[in-house]
Amino acid sequence: MITRRKFLRQSGAAAGALLASKLPALHHTQQVKPQTMDPNTLAKFVDPLPIPPILKPDRTEPNPEDPKVKLPYYRVAMKQIEAKVHRDLKPTKSWSCGGSLPGPTFETRNGEGLLVEWANELPAEHFLPVDRHLHGAEGDKPASRAVIHLHGAKTRPESDGYPESWIAQGKSVVYHYPNQQDAAMLWYHDHTMGINRLNMYAGLFGSFFVRDKAEDSLDLPSGKYEIPLMIFDRLLTPDSQLFYPASDKASAPWLPELFGDAILVNGKLFPYLEVAPRKYRFRLLNASNARFYHLSFSGGVSAWNIGTDQGLLPAPVPMKASMLAPAERADIVVDFAGHGGEEILLKSDSFQIMQFRVSREKVDDTSSLSAALRPVPRIPETQAVTTRLLTLDEYVNLVSEPILLLLNATYWHEPITEKPKLNTTEIWSLINPTDDAHPIHLHLVRFQILDRRRYDVAAYMANRQLRFLGPPVPPDPDEAGWKDTVRANPKMVTRIIVPFEGYPGRYVWHCHILEHEDNEMMRPYEVVTS
Ligand code: C2O
Ligand code: CU
Ligand code: CU
């Protein structure tokens, strides 16, 4: 049986709209409403957009893989901070990597590795509702735990932030990031088993840029004309504190999704950015727990998608509305030329997210947007040595918990079932019988989307026979590059082709809706050498 009970705070966001019809009861509304403030009562566009600081290394240390080589060494402490999210609000208690919300930005180059000491200096108690029923968050575990994963990075398993390799308060761990990969916007974030959704909601994430020569040669807008926009939604109490609602069962507070109505960019609500009438490059990241965005600009400015999660697209794609699921990134170029004196909005459906104020100054824009960015050769299907059929399941268990989400009907703790061989290519067919779009992410690798296709859900449930109901739909032009997270759309089979390159060892794959991930929609997988 596939039914759902959902926590309410849906928006007009695409995924939300898909789900809205499935809401049986506005169960939590009465409890939630008085506990949150309405962000629309706040003055809009009164805070300048913050740009997280760029981290500087503390010193150099030998490369663990080649001690003759010294690498930059960064120490990043996770701490409780007070973050000012709006001019007229009191500071909001948050958790941060490195002192800001979001955390500071890493700037690195392809092939130039670095070391990061991630230190847990968080308080002993969590300030959000830990559910001790979830696997990995049982009563014998400390409430304050953290482990950082660098999303999109090709790293050895020891440095990948395995969900069970969390560190306790007062401890730290040193990870090595070799950065042997193409230029892209990666992001670091907490990955702690059973409380990931809470640690990320509290603020434990930031961005990490890898640069390379191919990108340099394109002469895209850079320096102050290249700006990360990390978008995340929150619920705020009338006292401007983070509100993470709990279910009506005090002993099992987990909820299937968190949707906030306060949408922050780089840690501010309704920020504005003063821009010159010229081209800008924006690096967009959806850092929300569950909300999907459908981003567009008002005022008829020209915008192009130039890159995906894992780097540049082959050619710019005129941007209409850019769909971003949790963890997805979009690299875009926006041209404000000819819009001097105007105010442009970045919107997601009915949400006004931020404002751009275009100055009237005369500028000389020497950056370019070339017609050819970076070749992305399509991987032929014949290169795949296996196709795995993997289902995304939701179960209702009326006795113990509202729903349960699994990958391929398998719990996290069960033996590993996906064991791709290093340096081989596989096709993963993600079969989604549910009413949710699940953003599926694989650690270590990058992949390409082959297609999505409607199929007969009932027939598949009955006899595991895949009967397609329509033609295969190719990926949207703005997702037809290298990806690390893919939207597996409802009632469709989404196929990705994945070269397993990098390192052998144990990694994870999971749904990036953090509430799903925390309640079993995550599995280990192992890259093997023979
Ligand atoms: Cu964005 Cu497993 O992570
Ligand atoms: Cu990842
Ligand atoms: Cu999911």
The Å distance, Cα 508 to ligand 2 centre, comes to 8
Q: What angle do CA 138, 142, 143 make, to 5 degrees?
A: 85
The Å distance, Cα 512 to ligand 3 centre, comes to 6
Q: What is the pLDDT of residue 405?
A: 84
> pLDDT by residue (tens digit) across 307-333?
999 999 999 999 989 999 999 999 999
The Å distance, Cα 482 to ligand 2 centre, comes to 14
Residue located nearest, by CA, to atom 1 of ligand 1: 151
> Which of 14-28, 57-71, 440-454, 508-522 is predicted least confidently?
14-28
Atom of ligand 1 nearest to the CA of 191: 2
Tokens standing for 494? 């989404």
Q: What is the pLDDT of residue 17?
A: 31
Q: What is the pLDDT of residue 344?
A: 98
Q: What is the pLDDT of residue 24?
A: 35
pTM above 0.75, yes or no: yes
Report whether pLDDT(251) > 90. no
CA–CA distance, 9 with 259 (Å, rounded to integer): 5
> pLDDT by residue (tens digit) across 264-289?
999 999 999 999 999 999 999 999 99
Tokens standing for 247? 């279910």
With a 6 Å cutoff on the Cβ, whether 315 touches ligand 1 is no
Q: What is the pLDDT of residue 334?
A: 98
The Å distance, Cα 152 to ligand 1 centre, comes to 8
Q: What is the pLDDT of residue 401?
A: 53
Q: From the centroid of its chain, how far is CA 408? A: 22
CA–CA distance, 258 with 281 (Å, rounded to integer): 30
Q: Is residue 34 very low, low, confident or very high in pLDDT (cuts 50, 70, 90)?
A: low
Q: Is residue 12 very low, low, confident or very high in pLDDT (cuts 50, 70, 90)?
A: very low
Residues 6+ apart with CB under 8 A from 491: 432, 433, 435, 454, 455, 457
Could you give the count of Cα atoms lying within 13 Å of 360 in the half-sphere of its Cβ?
1
> pLDDT by residue (tens digit) across 89-123?
999 999 999 999 999 999 999 999 999 999 999 99
Report whether pLDDT(23) > 80. no
Q: What is the pLDDT of residue 297?
A: 97
Report whether pLDDT(84) > 70. yes
Q: Is residue 26 very low, low, confident or very high in pLDDT (cuts 50, 70, 90)?
A: very low
At 247 the three-state DSSP class reads: coil
With a 6 Å cutoff on the Cβ, whether 443 touches ligand 1 is yes
Dmax (CA) for the chain in angstroms is 67
Contact in structure between 391 and 431 (CB atoms under 8 Å) = yes
**pLDDT over 90, % of the chain:** 86
DSSP for 203-239 reads T-EEEEEEE-HHHHTTT-S-GGGEEEEEEEEEEE-TT
CA–CA distance, 144 with 110 (Å, rounded to integer): 34
CA–CA distance, 430 with 495 (Å, rounded to integer): 6
Check residue 386 and report its DSSP letter: E
Q: Is residue 380 very low, low, confident or very high in pLDDT (cuts 50, 70, 90)?
A: very high
Atom of ligand 1 nearest to the CA of 509: 2
**pLDDT over 70, % of the chain:** 92
Contact in structure between 272 and 227 (CB atoms under 8 Å) = no
The Å distance, Cα 338 to ligand 1 centre, comes to 40
> pLDDT by residue (tens digit) across 233-244?
999 999 999 999
316 residue type, one letter: P
CA–CA distance, 327 with 345 (Å, rounded to integer): 23
With a 6 Å cutoff on the Cβ, whether 329 touches ligand 1 is no
Report whether pLDDT(497) > 60. yes
Q: What is the pLDDT of residue 398?
A: 52
Q: What is the pLDDT of residue 247?
A: 87
> pLDDT by residue (tens digit) across 353-378?
999 999 999 999 999 999 999 999 99
State the average pLDDT over residues 57-80.
96
Computed over every residue of the chain, the mean pLDDT equals 92
Summary count for the chain: helices (H), strands (E): 6, 34
Report whether pLDDT(397) > 80. no
